[in-house]
Amino acid sequence: MAGYRALVRPDIREVMSVVTTAYQEADNVLVAETAVGLARQFDPRAELVGAAGFGRTNERTLFVVRVKASVRRALLLLVHNSHRGEGAVRFRLVELDLPDGSVLAPDVPHAALSVSHVGAVEKRLKDLHLHDQVATYLAETERAWGRLGHRFWSPRHTKALVRELWGHPKPPVAIDGRALEPSTSWPRHPKDHLTRSLDDVDDAASAYRRVCRYLDHESEARERGDLTKDRDERLALGTGMRLKERVWDWVVENA
């Protein structure tokens, strides 16, 4: 078909998707080298610590680069291909809360950047410099974490946050006038769990960390109406990440 072409996995020769001729995929080797090089501009000890292919046909790729680490926290650079619009390579800085392995995603201006899959992709990747962005990100988040650590958190904030992001729980289904408990396969509403989990939290920074821990380890990391079947994508790059950014914005604005 004129104006379109198929992307084929070279190892199994299967079509992954059909894209416009303007779409230009980025080679995984170059993307991985770029990611490590960017991180090492900030810290020469930075290294690639993970790589994965996922999606229903493994058409998506994720690289994880450890930029720096301490006893309690690690700064990671997540690099993955995005399928929005014509597609892009997305670089996203996140923080790993080491005690429980939760991923924190402060929504600050310099947290992410993208390189579109059109035009001179390889040249833009090679010319990309993230050193100032990492330093700026750290300065932004250090100030933000400090402010949140001194902001009061109460059960009232928890209830308002849950209501804003997830709405009210749906009532039990009734058959012949008798209420039935929802099936265990239904998505669980986070109200009860988060209300208990945040009951002893009294500052906004700890509240945000606790919600991220819930999203990573106890919930289905969903937004209203999003029942994505691909759990890996939902947690790593999709709904889970977007939801953490929304939680951050709400906490910063309302705590």
| Calculated CA dihedral for residues 251, 253, 254, 255, nearest 10 degrees | 60
Mean pLDDT computed over every residue of the chain: 80
Rounded to two decimals, the pTM is: 0.79
Mean of the pLDDT values across residues 126-138? 81
| Residue type at 88 in one-letter notation | A
pLDDT of residue 169: 72
pLDDT of residue 160: 95
Mean of the pLDDT values across residues 178-192? 60
Sequence spans of domains, the chain:
4-147, 151-254
DSSP characters over 125-176: HHH---HHHHHHHHHHHHHHHHHHHTSB--HHHHHHHHHHHH-SPPPPEEET
Mean of the pLDDT values across residues 70-76? 90
pLDDT of residue 185: 44
pLDDT band at 132 (very low <50, low <70, confident <90, very high): confident
DSSP characters over 61-114: EEEEEEEEE-SSEEEEEEEEEE-STT-EEEEEEEEEETTTTEEE----TTSEEE
pLDDT of residue 74: 94
pLDDT of residue 210: 93
Over 90: is that where the pLDDT of 77 sits?
Answer: yes
Q: Which of 90, 95, 253 is nearest to 164 (CA)?
A: 253
Q: Can you tell me the distance from the alpha carbon of 50 to that of 68, in angstroms, rounded to the nearest whole number?
A: 15
Q: What percent of the chain has pLDDT over 70?
A: 74
